[in-house]
Amino acid sequence: MAALVVAGTITLGCSSDDENSPLNPPTVEESQPETSVKVTLTTTINRSGESQARRRALSEQGVKTFAVGDQIAVVYTNTSSKRVKAVSNALTAADITNSGKSAKITVTLTNPVAGTVDYIYPAAMANEDGTLNYSALCMQDGTLASLASNLDCAKGSGEMTGSGSDFTLPTGVSLANQLAVCEFNIKEYDGGADITSSITDLILSDGTNTYTVSRTATAGPIYVAMQPVTSDQTLTFIAIDNMENRYRRGELHKTLEANDMIPVNLKMYNTPEIIDLSTLSADRVAQNGDMLTGKLATSHQISIAPDAIVILNDVDINYVTELSGAFAGITCQGNATLIMKGTDYVKGFYAGYPGIFVPSGSTLTITGDGTLYVLGHDNGAGIGSGRSDIAAVKSCGSIIIQGGTIWGTGGIGAAGIGSGAGADESPSSCGNITIKSSVIKVYATPGSGAEPIGRGDHSTSGTVTIEDSDKIEQK
């Protein structure tokens, strides 16, 4: 990926002070007027690093240029000592020069102060506080065009100088790409037939981050932008084809560096078995790559093996017709990733049990493009922990929701997503809860005395992070 070089100068227009009568002192707003600053920047992209063996992101030729409609985020500190983001005007054809390698942008800063300025390209990859929007990587479509336009993130920093009404932006700032871009081609482990063109879903995890690609089956490669990883991290993969076959690779150790487009050839095992819950005759622990489907007809516990990625495809676990059993609807035995396909329903089996439970110290990630209805039984949370007097589900781990549409409903005194009902001397608890901006929609309904997302009545929860409040509806 080529780097960006930004140069620019900003000037402030002068404003006169208002005259105030001693009998009418200025309000706080009047005494601290906001100052809008027009900033014009010239930004140049360099074609660096082309001598390396691996191609630079993002075009097939390794060239990245500006395009009409592009925007850049300028992150600076304002007079309230907050880091804030300003977004440039969309580029027009007249702004772009030097064969697309240079562009003149206009941006307005409000109440800036001298200090560090960050440039982030494209602007959509910057959060409002100037941090990188890694949540944009959670759900992707696998195409190079979409990745290049929306996810190819470059960043650089410099010092803005000035005071009063005159400021100068740093010159000669080089913006380096922050992400690794992987070019996946997939073959069957047995026989080596190329199956890339039949893949509709590719899910990969580095143990911390989960990336979900959903696409129409078409010729490959499949392109994924991701945070860099080192060879001592374990990558796991699940792929689904257009015939609902699943393919898995247990692990891959490979260094994925920032600023590189890296070809990755995967050989994956075919795991065609589908676990039909309507025919289940014993408790079942779903393994990595398993797909659950159908309506559970008997009172058997459904668990997820540690570190497994499991697909839910139109399941009904104890939701419409209640069964018996002292356990949650789905019990994760450790870190787990659930991928929603179609419409899925899950409810706790017994009073006080949650719909979906992950143990303390572990993390549950829910992703995919489906819809999930999950319900706690009586005092259990929809997703999270159960009633505080049930030791097995009293304390749950962390929850990350990054895809699909979720309807989480808590029982009496329980959160829709979070902790179950407790008592002063014995609270139920839940770890951190993160709902990423990549979700379609999350609906959370609590029981009496509980929060929609967070703590149950007389219970506790960790930090709740909601990245886009417009995608959350809390009852």
- Say if 23 falls within a structural domain: no
Answer with the one of 242, 270, 298 that is the final residue of a domain: 270
Answer with the one of 213, 244, 270 that is the final residue of a domain: 270
- Say if 255 falls within a structural domain: yes
Do 46 and 120 fall into the same domain? yes
Answer with the one of 236, 270, 304 that is the final residue of a domain: 270
CA distance 219 to 197: 4
Please give, one letter per residue, the 3-state secondary structure of 392-460.
HHCEECEEEECCCEEEEECCCCCCCEECCCCECCECCECCCEEECCCCCEEEEECCCCCCCEECCCCCC
- Give the residue carrying structure tokens 């990336």: 211
Q: Which two tokens stand for residue 306?
A: 């540690």
Q: Residue 214's domain spans which residues?
A: 181-270
User: Do 202 and 184 meet the contact criterion of CB atoms below 8 Å apart?
Assistant: yes
Number of domains forming the structure of the chain = 3
- Say if 390 falls within a structural domain: yes
pTM: 0.84
Output the tens digit of pLDDT for each of the chain's 475 residues: 333 333 333 332 333 333 333 334 444 444 444 445 555 555 544 334 333 333 333 454 444 677 888 898 999 999 899 999 999 889 899 988 777 777 777 888 888 899 999 989 889 999 999 999 999 999 999 998 888 888 888 888 889 888 777 788 777 677 788 999 999 999 998 778 999 999 999 999 998 999 999 999 999 899 999 999 988 888 999 999 988 888 888 778 888 888 888 889 999 988 767 899 999 999 999 998 899 999 999 999 999 999 999 999 999 999 988 888 999 999 999 999 999 999 999 999 999 999 999 999 999 999 999 999 999 999 999 999 999 999 999 999 999 999 999 999 999 999 999 999 998 889 999 999 999 999 999 999 999 999 999 999 999 999 999 999 999 999 8
Instruction: Give me the amino acid identity at 366.
Output: I
